[in-house]
Structure 1
Amino acid sequence: MSITTEPTTGSNTEALSKAGVSIWLDDLSRERIVTKNLQQLIDEKNVVGVTTNPTIFASALAKGETYDEQVRELKAKGADTAQAIFEITTKDVSDAADVFRGVYDATHGYDGRVSIEVSPELAHDTEATIAEAKRLWSTIEKPNVMIKIPATVEGLPAITAAIAAGISVNVTLIFSLERYKAVIAAYLEGLKQAKDAGIDLSTIHSVASFFVSRVDTEIDKRLDAIGTDDAKALKGRSAVANARLAYEVFVDAFGAEDAIELQEAGANRQRPLWASTGVKDPSLPDTFYVVDLVTHGVVNTMPEKTLDAVADHGDVQGDTIVGKYDEAREDLEKLKAVGVDLDEVTDLLEREGVDKFIVSWHELTDTVAKALESA
């Protein structure tokens, strides 16, 4: 069951929140914090959390003057680029966690969350990912922070280890149902180990970030290439179908006996989080990946453009997931029938997702290096 704060002034976002969706902003910058923009979004648009990634930090660092003072201080103490990135990003996340602390307290830890990602260069290195997750967690030291770990094959044991150590985790870059099942299994195993270690399970929270729009972008390109009427009729249907079936996986997994035993011991369910919800196809409604993925107990992390669209004209019609599983399965069967291999698509998207974050990480590194040089 979802827990919400008191209703605020945004009627559409309020309706989404009341329907059980936690609205998180997929963006963070120091400017948002110092100008009180982040607090304004909490007050006016029902935002109850924030997610970050290397692309977001690269963009934030490339513009604005709010980082200048810290960059000068870092240069004066001889910080190298890697240390500067770590200190700059952890400060933003720590300060944002303070902004969201009221939401965290009001929802008893359910929301008010701020996520920070381990370096994407570690996505295929289990031990380095574990070490970096622990370093980020202990450095920021705020109960409402989540450490983002990618759902690569090598990331799965890192998820288990982090959860076992009492670290709250946002699992990112999930595209396929099979990988999502493995993510849930990794989370539950981590909870079992934490329980055996005497850790209070109620203090551990997790979300599983299931990516949406990128699925349609890749599949629709393939459907256009196939070119038949049957293929074109499936455009814009795959991502929502995939996500709806992910929610079915979630319901089944956390209704199973081992998961119920852990919940009875105080554990929290690992909520599905809809990521990549900005619409990239102009023929689709700009609120599509929000209003078509509404149900209780999920998170939708939105870029501000999507959040503004929802606030302005998002038509929230209650639950749009439960009861639509058969329809979703039918859509994915039709996809297979016209010659699109969903497994191949999701494997490609995972590889591309890691690669894109690595490119953004290098952009962030270059930006910080230049800032240190000119400070």
Structure 2
Amino acid sequence: MNTTQHLTTLGQSLWLDNLSRSLIRDGTLARLITEDGISGVTSNPSIFQNALATSPYYADDLARLKTGESDAERRYEALLISDIRAACDLLLPIFTRSGGNDGYASLEVAPRWAYDAARTVEEAQRLSAAVDRSNLMIKVPGTPEGISAFETLTRLGINVNVTLLFSLAQTEAVFNAYLRGLAARVQTGAGVRRSKAVASLFLSRVDTLVDTQLNSIGTPEALSLRGKAAIAMARLAYQNYLKIFRGEAFATLAQQGAMPQTLLWASTGVKNPDYHALLYVEPLIGRETINTLPDKTLAALRDHGKPALRLEDGIAEATAQWVDLARLGIDMDTVGNTLQDEGVKLFEAAYQKLLLQTG
């Protein structure tokens, strides 16, 4: 058992924050599943833009699509859906063994619908039908409109990865939307045993922005908090997860077979080279969670990771750090909203480049 497999025995799932046709065709994804315990994959416009630019396996299909499909967006979708289906098929044994709790591949709704709830629901339904795999998750942004769409999609029985979450308030709103969506589904007479969702909380970008603000303040107290906001946020979010999904609010739904909405740590590759490569991995190992790892971070974990349950350590310290940040004038809700808006814009820019690549 290697380091990554050991981590999965502690109750945390490892998903790969990458997907390309090369990973599928050359057997790398299958090997990661077998040897490292990878049990899910995520994709987004930035990831697929890189895949399309670097993999040699798209050229023939793209040339064929250009002769029969005039719309660049549909050509892009055809290429990506093929990869998503292949990933779903590789992960299906995990999905089956886990009873639908793990083994998913995620496909994102076009970023331009991030502030349109009705169109997000429509697009999610269309993409879900196009992929036609039971272990697909549709990625929906955690904007207010995206959360509204998520609630509707949960009621409709579509499994969702709520992405671009950057704050405790956003994460709590997503949890509550999941509860409402499940309850509404029950009221329609539909079952909830096959319902599953994750809440993707982004980490490194939070520290990048907060560290800039702390540097501007410049006091010893402020500087001592650099690189700590994201871990504190994640630990407090997990405490909220335990309160909701192991508490009375979820008890009735759990009795009907519903699964909790799992917290997923996203943006776990460090952006500050001075920080430890596993800053957003080792401190956040905990039961009933997922960590999505880019290739470089996965390699670091495999090489020198020290898996141990640490997510529930230091809760008092995390709470104190949260109070200290507020006292210094750093509004973490504002930080979250700023980063979410930036995230939507970054994904939209990548999406537009994708359309040019497939044009």
Which range, TM-score by smaller chain?
over 0.9
1:73 is matched with which residue? 64
Q: Number of paired residues?
A: 359
1:344 aligns with 2:328: no
Of 209, 215, 220, which aligns to 2:200?
209
Question: What is the deviation of 1:137?
Answer: 0.8
Match of 1:354 among 336, 344, 348: 344
Q: Match for 2:324 among 327, 334, 356?
A: 334
Q: Deviation string for 1:161-194 (max 9, x for gaps)? A: 1111111110001111111111011111111122
For the pair 1:237 / 2:250, whether they are aligned, the reply is no
Instruction: Determine if contact 2:168/2:333 at 8 Å carries over to the other structure.
Output: no
Shift of 1:257: 2.2
156, 168, 172: which one pairs with 1:177? 168
- What SS does the corresponding residue of 1:289 show, helix, strand or coil? coil
| C-alpha displacement of 1:138 | 0.8
1:7-63 CA deviation, whole Å, 9 max, x = no partner?
xx4x21122111111000000001111111100111111111001111001111112
Q: Of 24, 32, 37, which residue of structure 2 is paired with 1:33?
A: 24
Equivalence map 1:105-116=2 (5 Å): 105-116=96-107
Aligned to 1:159: 150
- Equivalent residue letter for 2:111: P
- Counterpart of 2:267 (choices 256, 272, 276) is 276
Structure 2 residue aligned with 1:47:
38
Equivalent AA in structure 2 for residue 58 of structure 1: Q
DSSP 3-state at the match of 1:260: helix
User: What is the correspondence of 1:356-375 to structure 2 with a 5 Å cutoff?
Assistant: 356-369=346-359
SS of equivalent to 2:13? strand
Give the letter aligned to residue 147 of structure 2. Answer: L
Pairwise CA distance, 1:256: 3.2
2:286 counterpart (275, 295, 302): 295
Counterpart Cα distance in 2 of 1:358 and 1:78: 22
Post-superposition offset of 1:131:
0.3
* Matching residue of 1:373: none
Separation in 2, partners of 1:266, 1:331: 37
The amino acid that maps onto 1:332 is W
Q: TM-score scaled to structure 1, two decimals?
A: 0.93
Query: What's the CA shift string for 1:179-233, capped at 9, x where partnerless?
Result: 1111011111111122122322111111000111111010111111111111111
Task: Work out the percentage of aligned pairs sharing the same amino acid.
Answer: 38
Separation of aligned partners in 2, 1:155 and 1:121: 11
Matched position secondary structure for 1:202: coil
Distance between the aligned counterparts of 1:261 and 1:66, measured in 2?
Answer: 48
Quick check: 155-164 or 254-263, which moved more?
Answer: 254-263
* Aligned residue type for 2:193: S
1:323 Cα deviation from its structure 2 partner: 4.2
Cα separation, 2, equivalents of 1:199 and 1:91: 30
Unaligned runs of 5+ in 1: 1-8, 370-375
